[in-house]
Structure 1
Amino acid sequence: MFIRPAEADDEKLLWAMLYEASYAHENGMDSPDQLRDVPTLAHYVEGWGAAGDLGVVGGFDGVPLGAAWLRLFDAEDPAYGYVDADTPELAIGVAPESRGTGLGTALMSALLDAASEKYDAVSLSVRQENPALRLYQRLGFVEVAGSAKANPAGTTSVTMVLRFH
């Protein structure tokens, strides 16, 4: 397994991992390219490498199969797990063939280590039935009171936050 910092050249991989993370296939999308037409999702990746962006890429045998990244959003254009303008929101995606291998945990750990040196907290949005919810809890994320929201797929998502300081 390898983990390395995400670079501007990784934008295509981030689109692919956002496709996995956002349940886009379940919502009728056939390709990561279609995410570009969904502003509430596109802003997680569009123009990757801007000030404040931080991420890691990982995989096996030199093949990138997952990524975890975070970005700052503002109240005028919030993301799903928006807490405030000083708290970046984390996104993570792992290719289906690499789930259950520990790659997601390794990506999260590496990103959170890097984030703790730059930010006071990190937030995320997760579906309540997503198995990754348990990972987030183990890593110290706690649900933001009153954050449960129904989403278009008929499931409920919650915002979680991890405070470093």
Structure 2
Amino acid sequence: MDYIIRKIKKAEYDLLNDFLYEAIYIPDGVEPPPKSIINCPELQEYVFEFGKRKDDRALVAEVQGNVVGAIWVRIMNDYGHIDNDTPSLAMSVFQKYRGQGIGTSLLQQLLLVEKSFGYSKISLSVQKNNYAVKMYKKAGFLVVDENSEEYIMTINL
């Protein structure tokens, strides 16, 4: 599949709400929550006023003119927060486009961007049963903390 990875456009910031919902891990056989769940404060931390903080950065994957995936970082007090100098990462790819290398490409490109901005590491939180754990580990992320449901992972850039 042909796709391009590019910087998000300001006019596309609202798409991050859609990708935030897509990033919610839903185990097989579990009913997805209503889309309104993204309005709760702990999830809005990922997208509220995106682009207004100096460390807000996002890339998107585009297929035939349509945005099908997004990855973004910001320094925030989220589930993957480890300190006030480390951006936390969020990403998702629409279901139809998963398993085709798009997520891996988004991740690789964002790591290069963050390194070019002088960041030394990135953190994230991921459900232990999420298939994306393998992708993060393959990219070099290491588990630095965990609870019963999630891993907190970081990568040195």
**1:126-163 CA distance string (max 9 Å, x none):** 1111111111111110000xx2123xxxxx10100001
Q: In structure 1, what is the Cα distance between the partners aligned to 2:94 and 2:101?
A: 12
Task: Please name the residue that 2:9 is paired with.
Answer: 7
Q: In structure 2, what is the Cα distance between the partners aligned to 1:138 and 1:121?
A: 16
Classify the secondary structure of the residue corresponding to 1:125: strand
Task: Please name the residue that 2:95 is paired with.
Answer: 96
Where in structure 2 are the equivalents of 1:10-159 lying within 5 Å?
10-23=12-25, 29-31=33-35, 33-36=36-39, 38-50=40-52, 51-73=54-76, 78-118=77-117, 119-144=119-144, 147-150=145-148, 156-159=149-152
Q: In structure 2, what is the Cα distance between the partners aligned to 1:129 and 1:8?
A: 33
Kindly tell me: are residues 88 and 128 of structure 1, through their superposed partners in 2, closer, same or farther at Cα, counting changes over 3 Å?
same
Classify the secondary structure of the residue corresponding to 1:136: helix
Shift of 1:82: 0.6
2:87 maps to a residue whose letter is: P
Instruction: Report if the CA contact (8 A) 1:2-1:62 is conserved.
Output: no
Shift of 1:13: 1.3
Shift of 1:9: 1.9
Task: Please name the residue that 1:153 is paired with.
Answer: none
Instruction: Report if the CA contact (8 A) 2:68-2:94 is conserved.
Output: yes
Q: In structure 2, what is the Cα distance between the partners aligned to 1:6 and 1:103?
A: 15
Instruction: Report if the CA contact (8 A) 1:8-1:48 is conserved.
Output: no
2:68 maps to a residue whose letter is: L
Q: In structure 1, what is the Cα distance between the partners aligned to 2:137 and 2:105?
A: 15
Q: Percent of pairs identical after alignment?
A: 33
Shift of 1:60: 1.0
1:58 maps to a residue whose letter is: A
Kindly tell me: are residues 68 and 137 of structure 1, through their superposed partners in 2, closer, same or farther at Cα, counting changes over 3 Å?
same
Q: Displaced runs of 4+ in structure 1, greater than 4 A? A: 24-28
